[in-house]
Amino acid sequence: MNRLALLLAVLFPALALPQGNVVVADPVDAELQRGLVSVSVVCDDERLAPLVQYALSLHGAIRLQSAGAARVVISRQGTGATVACDVARFAFQQEVRGRDEEDLALQAADAVIVGVGRALKLRPLYAGTKVAFTSRGTGHNEVCKTTLVRARTLLLTSYRNTSIAPRWNNDGTRINFISSLDGFPGLYTTNGVGAPRPLLTGVRGAIGAASSGPDGRLVFVSSNKGTMDVYVADAAAKGAKRIITAAGSQTVNADPAWSPDGTRLALTSGPTGRPGIYLASAAGGALSRLNTGYAYATEPRWNPVENKLIFTFQSGRLGLAVADLAAGTVQEVPAASALDLSHASWCADGRHVVATQASRSSSWLAVVDTVSGKVTRLTPPQLGDCSQPDCWTRRN
């Protein structure tokens, strides 16, 4: 470098940078450009504070710090609270109320997310999401439910039998599941009180989970006719009608899921060793294969707020990818973990999912941010192996 160039570089350091570089002087702006907001939470209630902080710790766009750029103050008054931030660029104030302490924490966490996340267009996540799943904590697969602060995880079945494939009904009041209480696999439903109510029993053959559409109709697969076919029935599992027939015994249909408007289905179909994702009308008819770019793709679930699907792929490991049906693109979720992720179900914000994460010896539920790839364990070791999450999300 000649003397003039050296002198200019010392006096005007920015001139020494390669062209095209952008310097962001404000660290808050720099964080926002990376899709993050640093938040500190001050709460006057020692029971509410850890619940809110735990909920916020799951969010991939939130970085909890003792001196965050957005200082949020939560003041509790009985079953309500005031959530506020007086930092100019994040300033907001909201009154929230909860049915109980756990619900209040969820409402407060949503107020924080929406309040400080305006620049990132963050949506409510916590209060509108409930999670059903299976746990082997008792030594048998049983159905449980929880929320995103897991303060009140409830065991809904205790039959010392295999109870699997939980699915919420459309209004979030009951969970449908598969069990062999009468000796054969059947569909049952429970609200956690009293004995389960049979929906479909005596099926001689395999049966798949019963997913509830926005109008309450059920879609499930069954081998009652000899092949794994797709059926649609009313909310009480009556009037079941076969709408999709498998093309022979080597073809398997599985995992049917409703679109948010109830007009379409996404499902897994194809040979057992090379399944793919297909779309179909809810009335049945021809299947249309979705080009995912993976030779093995399963378990599609429709996003509740955008025209997207999340699904499981296998390519050396099990991972998650998002298909944007409007844009015609597929993007692998950049999960910051080498462990398997599968069986994902969308949360209320259409950004996060609850998925099964597994090592070689155990499995648990994790909250995954499909944008940042942040993965946070949700279920504690005391629940044993956990899997098959299904999220109920509040429909606006």
Each residue's pLDDT tens digit, 138-194: 998 999 999 999 888 999 998 877 899 999 999 999 999 999 877 778 899 998 888
DSSP string, 122-139: ----STTEEEEEEE-TTS
Q: What is the CATH number of the domain that holds 348?
A: 2.120.10.30
Domain boundary among 116, 140, 161: 116
Are residue 350 and residue 373 in the same domain, yes or no?
yes
Parallel, antiparallel, or unpaired for β 241-244 and 92-97? unpaired
Whether residue 211 is found in the same domain as residue 165:
yes
Buried b / exposed e across 191-219, counting CB within 10 Å, b at 16+? eeeeebeebbbebeeebbbbbbbeeebbb
C-alpha 318, offset from chain centre: 16
Write down the pLDDT at residue 396.
Answer: 60
pLDDT of the residue at 76: 97
- pTM beyond 0.85: the answer is yes
C-alpha 228/C-alpha 69 separation (Å) is: 54
Ranges of residues in the chain whose predicted pLDDT is under 70: 1-25, 201-204, 249, 396
Query: What are the φ/ψ torsions at residue 214 (nearest 5 degrees)?
Result: -60, -25
Q: Classify residue 23: in a domain, yes or no.
A: no
- Alpha-carbon span 345 to 215, nearest angstrom: 19
d(CA 225, CA 234): 20
Q: What does the CA dihedral 40, 41, 46, 52 come to, rounded to 10 degrees?
A: -110
Structural domain includes residue 311: yes
Question: Is 368:355 a contact under the CB 8 Å cutoff?
Answer: yes
Q: Which of 317, 263, 265, 261 shows the shortest CA–CA distance to 290?
A: 265
User: 3-class secondary structure for 96-116?
Assistant: EECCCHHHHHHHHHHHHHHHH
In a shared domain, residues 101 and 176: no
The token duo for 217 is 């109709």
Instruction: Classify residue 121: in a domain, yes or no.
Output: no
What's the domain range around 346? Answer: 129-393
Residue 10 maps to a domain:
no
Alpha-carbon distance of 193 to 175, in angstroms, equals: 11
**What is the structure's pLDDT at 201?**
64
Q: Which residue shows structure tokens 């929406």?
A: 114
Q: Which two tokens stand for residue 263?
A: 């007009």
- Distinct helix (H) and strand (E) counts, the chain: 4, 29
User: CA–CA separation, 246 vs 171, rounded Å?
Assistant: 31
Same domain membership, residue 78 and residue 167: no
pLDDT at 7: 33
Judging by DSSP bridges, how do beta strands 297-302 and 308-314 pair with one another? Answer: antiparallel
Q: Count other Cβ atoms within 10 Å, centred on residue 94.
A: 16
CATH of the domain at 98: 3.40.50
If one counts the domains in the chain, the total is 2
Please check whether residue 11 lies inside any domain of the structure.
no
At 303, which helix (H) or strand (E)? none
- Looking at the fold, whether 101 and 177 belong to one and the same domain comes out as no
Burial class of residue 373, CB neighbours in 10 A (0-12, 13-18, 19+): middle
Question: What pLDDT score does 246 carry?
Answer: 87
**46 and 138, same domain (yes or no):** no
| Boundary-marking domain end, from 55, 90, 116 | 116
CA distance 10 to 37: 34
- Could you tell me if residue 329 is inside a domain? yes
d(CA 97, CA 313) in angstroms, rounded, equals 41
30 within a domain of the structure (yes/no): no
Among 116, 144, 179, the domain boundary falls at 116
| Shared-domain flag, residues 80 and 204 | no
pLDDT at res. 150: 87
Asked whether residue 291 is assigned to any structural domain, the reply reads yes
Instruction: Tell whether 94 and 191 lie within a shared domain.
Output: no
Residues 180 and 215 in one domain: yes
Q: Are residues 361 and 212 in the same domain?
A: yes
